[in-house]
Amino acid sequence: VHLLDPSRGGRIAFQELQPNGRSPQDFAAAQGGEPYGEALGLYLACLQAEISGESLRELELICTCLKTWVQLYIEVDGSGLWMTPFMIFLCNRARRTASQLDQAKRSEANRDAYLKKLVEIHRELFQKLNKERAKRAGHVWVCCELLRAYFKLGQISQCSFLLTAVSQSLNKDGFNPTDLPKAISVTFFFYWGKHCVFTHNLRDADEKLSWSFNNCPAKSKFNRRKILLYLVPCKLRLGVLPTQDLLHAYDLAIFVDVVRAIREGNAQLFAQKMEEHAADFIKMGTYLIMMKLKFTVLRSLTRCVHREVRRQLGENAAHKLDLTPFEHIFAWQDGCDADETACLISNLIHQNAVKGYLSHEHRKIVFAKDLPFPPPSKWRM
């Protein structure tokens, strides 16, 4: 307990556990017994390497400790859920140590070398745990570690294999990932949803990320914000706008003006904010989805023009309107000429975001009498 207490720190606890010059190995054998003494001894040796500043040896020892603990986890009877918190702790520590080593040699040609070595170890563990039906919690967590690493390395294509393997395994056993401990299931659904965002499977991404957000503890504001960074673009693309209170509560200023541009149909504001935050969206991998929101902005703009023209016409308002006002507004907001305006409105009609048709011969746009602007659930995404 002292060793794993983050408020005390491993170094202090390690020093306290050596009264009368007792060696870490003797302490591990006495406290861990025959089955767990080896794993505890490896972890104590890892702490000793950390104190000595031997980062490379620390990583080697923590990886060996992780493999030893996973083997014990496989051999234990039942689900072995009580062993998963320490396995998660070892995975986190190994990842942190590998990251520190990679940052220290960032200028060299072989970047992320230690993270790639860690991926190989996790792949080995994944294959072992894939055969153990009773050990689904550990299996899914190792999958999360691999997904996290693949996203960091930019190897998104590798994620599909993992998710397919886990999905097939879970479906075969009739097991529901939501039955796992929340720390594991929330993380798994986050990375699964994130992968759906990258593959533009927005409805599945919305489902997975929404579940992850709703089940993430309210006090975990940092993790909930990470989920929202991918969930908000999905919701926006599906036509669901977040409240300003939500965006401010989680420090998501990056979306505030984009949402305002969608509400107002302000194409100029949208273009300005997308250019301002382009680097952030590219880094997160959501730039393409965010750029596609221009479609929603132009729909809002069309709706605003439609409403204003009908208001000015008053009792004489009909469902057949001149194209001229639309051309003037689109030219002002987005620099479009007459042909480009017609193309954009035609695309809105094709995607079922606007119901109606264009009459080029009479230079009219004819809106449907019933629901000319269908809700987002009716759009062709």
The tens digit of pLDDT for each residue in 75-101 reads 998 888 999 999 999 999 999 999 999
What's the maximum distance between 2 C-alpha atoms anywhere in the chain? 98
Task: Give yes or no for residue 11 having a pLDDT over 80.
Answer: no
Angle at 82 between CA 76 and CA 85, to 5 degrees: 120
Q: For residue 57, what pLDDT is reported?
A: 93
CA distances from 196 to 157, 193, 199 (A): 12, 5, 5
Backbone angles phi, psi at 359, to 5 degrees: -110, 95
Q: For residue 318, what pLDDT is reported?
A: 76
CB distance 331 to 268 below 8 Å? no
- What percent of the chain lies above the pLDDT cut of 90? 58
Average pLDDT on 234-244 reads 92
Task: Give yes or no for residue 309 having a pLDDT over 70.
Answer: yes
CA distances from 234 to 60, 185, 241 (A): 40, 20, 10
Average pLDDT on 171-194 reads 85
Q: What is the Cβ-side half-sphere exposure of residue 310, based on CA atoms within 13 angstroms? A: 14
Q: For residue 143, what pLDDT is reported?
A: 94
Dist CA 167 CA 344 (whole Å): 40
Q: Which residue has the higher pLDDT, 167 or 323?
A: 323
CB distance 176 to 170 below 8 Å? yes
- How many other C-beta atoms can be found within 10 angstroms of the C-beta atom of residue 10? 20
Task: Give yes or no for residue 14 having a pLDDT over 60.
Answer: no
Backbone angles phi, psi at 254, to 5 degrees: -60, -25
Question: Which of 41-50, 107-116, 344-353 shows the lowest per-residue confidence on average (mean pLDDT)?
Answer: 107-116
Average pLDDT on 124-134 reads 89
Dist CA 376 CA 296 (whole Å): 9
pLDDT band at 320 (very low <50, low <70, confident <90, very high): confident
Dist CA 303 CA 324 (whole Å): 15
Dist CA 12 CA 30 (whole Å): 20
Q: For residue 89, what pLDDT is reported?
A: 93
Query: Considering the entire predicted model, what is its pTM?
Result: 0.86
Q: What mean pLDDT is reported for the chain?
A: 87
Q: For residue 3, what pLDDT is reported?
A: 53
367 beta partners: 356
Dist CA 212 CA 208 (whole Å): 6
Dist CA 2 CA 4 (whole Å): 6
Tell me the two tokens of residue 303.
Answer: 């709706």
Phi-psi group of 82: left, alpha or beta (phi > 0 → left; psi -120 to 50 → alpha; rest → beta)? alpha
| pLDDT tens digits, 48-78 | 888 888 999 999 999 999 999 999 999 998 8
CB distance 290 to 258 below 8 Å? yes
pLDDT band at 6 (very low <50, low <70, confident <90, very high): very low
Average pLDDT on 105-129 reads 86
Residue 258, classified by CB atoms within 10 Å of its CB into exposed (0-12), middle (13-18) or buried (19+), is buried
- What percent of the chain lies above the pLDDT cut of 70? 88
Backbone angles phi, psi at 159, to 5 degrees: -70, -35
Task: Give yes or no for residue 105 having a pLDDT over 90.
Answer: no
pLDDT band at 1 (very low <50, low <70, confident <90, very high): very low
